[in-house]
């Protein structure tokens, strides 16, 4: 216990130099955990929003459906298979019919995706129940972005033109019955939601769907001919890839932060070894072995990490807790990135993140402290007492 006690006493005795190092290291430490927490929170938030509003527990796609090819929608529909129909009846799945249409808000032409959804469905968080109302016109639901870009408001009517399954034009007026506020742009931008049966009738696609969204509770997903199952994992792949790219770019920032903090510790250690030669000679003359001397100096350096962890906890825990509950307000421009993130970002900190980051920082600090201390192994006590380095 002599060495650790001595190391701690020396460290605290160094005064301002130690605290400067500790503060720099603690800033790096809190920044890493903080930004990592935002990264994890962002992924969780986007995934949850997408799953709740769009992906559910996975989707069965008609074999011709390609979400990246709106022109293929004309052929991307089929009669809902019996297995899926059973789930639909049990409210464990909801079919969606998607087709292309054109609206004319204020006399301007705009190509949209026309989506049919069961007003009674509970699988997705889309407020489809607004589509149940009686109206001479087709009731329609749009998102807040679509409302903003078209200038449409609740109660407004707009002419909708579409083609039926044979390619014949038809047109009717639709009434905007509700504007949903959603962070998920892929259910909002350039889209109009109307009752499924109405759309099936309008397009002469009775009993047909483009895709069927499965409830998150359904575990076993069967293979169905003519329909391909897209799991949550597959549907979230783009988001995961995006987060992976973000993690790599953030990783570079962490390395720079750690490098700066380690540079300070490394520098301190070299200075310490140079200035404390006589002290080292005295300790060796008093019987301290070279290995224990190396341990003493390594511990002194490594304890910077420990102190930094304690300091970080003092101001980091309240700071991080505050943002966990209050969230980080995001600028309006974030909405243009096309990710379902909402107005605020709520970070998430896991035990693995905190323990992992602490372990990495302590390990790196120890290694950086040890490297300059290796010179002590070559030190002769007589030279050291005279203030010489061998």
Partner 1 sequence: MKRLMIPLMLMITTVGMAQVPSGEAILEKVDENQIARNRKIIYEMLIHGRRGSRTLKAQSWIEGADRSFTEYLEPPRESGTKMLKLQEQLWTYSPSTDRIIKISGHMLRQSVMGSDLSYEDMMEDRHLLRLYEAEVVGEETFMERPCWVLKLTAKETDVAYHSRDIWVDKERYLALKENRYAKSGKLLKTTEVKSVIKEGDRWVGERVVFKDELKSGDGTEFLIESVTYDIDIPEYIFSKAALRK
Chain residues binding partner 1 by CB under 8 A are 69, 71-72, 74, 102, 104, 106-109, 159, 161, 163-164, 166-172
| CA dist 219 → 44, 58, 92, 225, 232 (Å) | 21, 10, 11, 19, 12
Question: Which of residues 33 and 192 has its CB atom nearest to partner 1 in the complex?
Answer: 192
Contacts of 337 by beta carbon, 8 Å cutoff, 6+ apart: none
Q: How far is the CB of 69 from partner 1 (least distance, A)?
A: 7
Residue 213 and residue 55 in contact, taking contact as beta carbons nearer than 8 Å: yes
Question: Which of residues 15 and 107 has its CB atom nearest to partner 1 in the complex?
Answer: 107
Q: How far is the CB of 118 from partner 1 (least distance, A)?
A: 24
Which H/E stretch holds residue 87? helix 82-89
Residue 46 and residue 38 in contact, taking contact as beta carbons nearer than 8 Å: no
Q: Is 184 in a helix, a strand, or coil?
A: coil
Q: How far is the CB of 337 from partner 1 (least distance, A)?
A: 28
Question: Which of residues 107 and 318 has its CB atom nearest to partner 1 in the complex?
Answer: 107
Q: How far is the CB of 112 from partner 1 (least distance, A)?
A: 13
Question: Which of residues 89 and 108 has its CB atom nearest to partner 1 in the complex?
Answer: 108
Q: How far is the CB of 105 from partner 1 (least distance, A)?
A: 11
Q: How far is the CB of 202 from partner 1 (least distance, A)?
A: 9
Place of tokens 């003519």: 226
Which tokens sit at 193? 């939601």
Question: Which of residues 156 and 335 has its CB atom nearest to partner 1 in the complex?
Answer: 156
| C-alpha–C-alpha distance, residues 173 and 103, integer Å | 9
Question: Which of residues 176 and 235 has its CB atom nearest to partner 1 in the complex?
Answer: 176
Strand partners, 72: none
User: Strand 93-103 and strand 328-329: pairing?
Assistant: unpaired
């Amino acid at each position: 216990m002599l060495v650790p006690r001595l190391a701690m006493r020396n460290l605290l005795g160094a005064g301002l130099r130690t605290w400067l190092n500790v503060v720099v290291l603690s800033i790096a430490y809190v920044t890493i955990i903080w930004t990592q927490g935002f990264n994890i929170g962002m992924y969780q938030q986007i995934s949850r929003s997408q799953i709740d509003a769009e992906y559910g527990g996975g989707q069965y796609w008609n074999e011709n459906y390609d979400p990246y090819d709106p022109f293929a929608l004309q052929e991307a529909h089929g009669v809902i298979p019996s297995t899926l129909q059973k789930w639909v009846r049990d409210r464990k799945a909801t079919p969606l019919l998607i087709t292309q249409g054109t609206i004319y808000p204020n006399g301007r032409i705009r190509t949209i995706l026309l989506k049919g959804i069961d007003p009674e469905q509970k699988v997705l968080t889309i407020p489809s129940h607004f589509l149940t109302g009686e109206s001479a016109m087709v009731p329609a639901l749009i998102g807040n972005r679509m409302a903003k870009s078209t200038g449409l408001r609740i109660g407004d009517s707009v002419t909708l033109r579409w083609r039926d399954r044979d390619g014949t034009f038809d047109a009717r007026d639709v009434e905007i019955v509700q504007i949903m506020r959603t962070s998920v742009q892929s259910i909002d931008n350039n889209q109009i939601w109307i009752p499924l049966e109405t759309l099936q009738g309008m397009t002469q696609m009775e009993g047909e769907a483009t895709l069927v969204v499965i409830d998150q509770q359904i575990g076993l997903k069967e293979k169905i001919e003519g329909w391909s199952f897209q799991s949550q994992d597959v549907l979230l792949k783009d988001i995961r890839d995006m987060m992976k790219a973000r993690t790599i770019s953030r990783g570079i920032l962490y390395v720079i932060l750690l490098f700066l903090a380690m540079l300070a510790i490394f520098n301190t250690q070299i200075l310490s070894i140079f200035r404390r030669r006589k002290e080292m000679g005295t300790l060796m003359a008093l019987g301290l072995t070279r290995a224990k001397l190396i341990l003493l100096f390594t511990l002194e350096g490594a304890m910077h990490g420990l102190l930094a962890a304690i300091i970080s906890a003092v101001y980091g825990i309240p700071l991080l807790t505050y943002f966990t509950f209050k969230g980080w307000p995001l600028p309006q421009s974030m909405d243009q990135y096309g990710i379902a993130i909402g107005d605020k970002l709520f970070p998430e900190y896991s035990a693995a993140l905190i323990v992992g980051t602490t372990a990495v920082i302590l390990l790196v600090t120890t290694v950086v402290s040890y490297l300059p201390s290796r010179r002590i192994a070559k030190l002769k006590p007589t030279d050291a007492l005279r203030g010489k380095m061998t």
